[in-house]
Amino acid sequence: MTDRPHYGRYLRIDELLSLQRPPGADGNARELLHHDELVFIAVHQVHELWFRLILHELAHARDILGRQGAFAGRPAVAEEDVPRAVDALDRTVTILQTLPDAFGVLETMAPTSFLAFRDALVPASGFQSVQFRELEILLGLRDEMRPAVGYQDALDPTERERVNRRLGEMTLAEALYDWLRRTPIELAFPGFVDAYVRAFDAYVDRQIALQRQNVHLTETQREDAARKLASQKDQCRAFLTGHDDARNRAHASFLFIATYRDEPLLRWPYQLVDKVAELEEHLRLWRFRHVRMVERMIGVRVGTGGSPGVDYLDRAVTMARIFGGVLEARTFLLEPSLLPPLPNPDIVRFAFR
């Protein structure tokens, strides 16, 4: 063997290719039980490799935005670091977009072929994917956003320790909100929140007037629509002023960034919050795609991990919403011409120094 880099040694291909045979009862690698057991193993392993990269990227984005350590008194995130966080999230989104294709490969396996080796898997299950749990936790998924099934019980002690370590770290959602909260919007627009609420009220009043003229509705339906629209004024106020100070400020920053996104210095911040929304969308699409594959493969059988299977997984698609605030904010977006021009636009424009 030489010290010269060599494809197989650098990538440790021999080791990698020795990992597609599961341990048997004696602890040694056993023979595959069916021709299709290899595709089952490979698609899972491919996922775990991508999960590994996703964790690497998410931690990078979180570290940039959150600057690890005490929450209070940290300096603002350097302008030039925001694109780096966007790049890390962009890579994550791209991976999440490609993962469902691997489910397509797995679906070339007939459900009856899966049944030939499925019993040998019990009680193992994707439910025990530690990296997936780490990924959820690092993003900011909290227990109340999960269907009520205790995943921790299915893990062994070292896996539980890894999960607990993640639970003690700052999450991407916390780092994002902390970064948003520190955006100095009052320098560019003193009194932004009051101006926004006034503009939103005026917008809703116009929507109400339009619905009152809607010839396709009965009088009662027109009044119902008007009432629902009017309640959005309260929702917008609550979004901007009904939480603790830090969250109110983060929500105001989001609306500010989205409204004035054409200003040069707001372009990257806008990309960042939009990437977060895209990430949530694709994680949910992955869950949805996984459960549709599961349904096609095992119907509504109980999972090998013992959960109610498809029913459990479908509930997770609906419940696991991490960046709800960033998405909720979209309900209150306005077309920019409805807002006053920025009082101090130079704050968010480029300048040669």
Residues that bind ligand HEM (CB under 6 A): 43-44, 47, 106, 114, 125-127, 129, 132, 151, 290, 294, 297-298, 303-307, 309, 312-313, 316
Least distance from ligand HEM to the Cβ atom of residue 331, Å: 27
Closest approach of ligand HEM to the CB of residue 40, in Å: 6
Q: What one-character-per-residue DSSP string does 166-229 give? A: HHTSPPHHHHHHHHHHT--HHHH-TTHHHHHHHHHHHHHHHHHHHHHT-TTS-HHHHHHHHHHH
Question: Closest CB to ligand HEM among 247 and 315?
Answer: 315
Q: How far is the CB of 98 from ligand HEM (least distance, A)?
A: 13
Q: Which of 83/147 has CB closer to ligand HEM?
A: 147
Answer whether 276's CB lies under 8 Å from 323's CB: yes
Nearer to ligand HEM, 37 or 263 (CB): 37
Q: Report helix, strand or coil for 74.
A: coil
Instruction: Report the candidate in 218, 201, 222, 198 with the shortest Cα–Cα distance to residue 210.
Output: 222
Q: Which is nearer to ligand HEM, 127 or 260 (CB)?
A: 127
Supply the minimum distance, in Å, between the C-beta of residue 90 and ligand HEM.
22
What is the Cα–Cα distance from 268 to 84, expressed in whole angstroms?
10
Phi and psi torsions of 156, nearest 5°: -85, 170
Cβ proximity to ligand HEM, 83 vs 306, nearer residue: 306
Query: Is 65:175 a contact under the CB 8 Å cutoff?
Result: yes
Contact (CB, 8 A) for 154 and 133: no
How much helix, strand and coil, in percent to the nearest 5, is found in the chain? 70, 0, 30
- Residue 222 · residue 214 · CB < 8 Å: yes
Q: How far is the CB of 305 from ligand HEM (least distance, A)?
A: 3
List the one residue out of 176, 195, 341 whose CA is nearest residue 263: 341
Q: Are the beta carbons of 40 and 109 closer than 8 angstroms?
A: yes
We find the least distance from the C-beta atom of residue 73 to ligand HEM, in angstroms, to be 37
- Closest approach of ligand HEM to the CB of residue 146, in Å: 7
Q: CB 308 → ligand HEM: shortest distance, Å?
A: 8
- ∠ CA 99-59-63, nearest 5°, is 150
Choose between 269 and 305: whose C-beta lies nearer to ligand HEM: 305
Nearer to ligand HEM, 87 or 159 (CB): 159
Cβ of residue 107: shortest distance to ligand HEM, in angstroms? 8
Beta bridge partners of 183: none
Q: Which is nearer to ligand HEM, 42 or 217 (CB)?
A: 42
Q: Which is nearer to ligand HEM, 114 or 288 (CB)?
A: 114
Amino acid at 12: R
Q: Three-class SS string for 254-278?
A: HHHHHHCCCCHHHHHHHHHHHHHHH
In contact, 61 and 85? CB cutoff 8 Å: yes
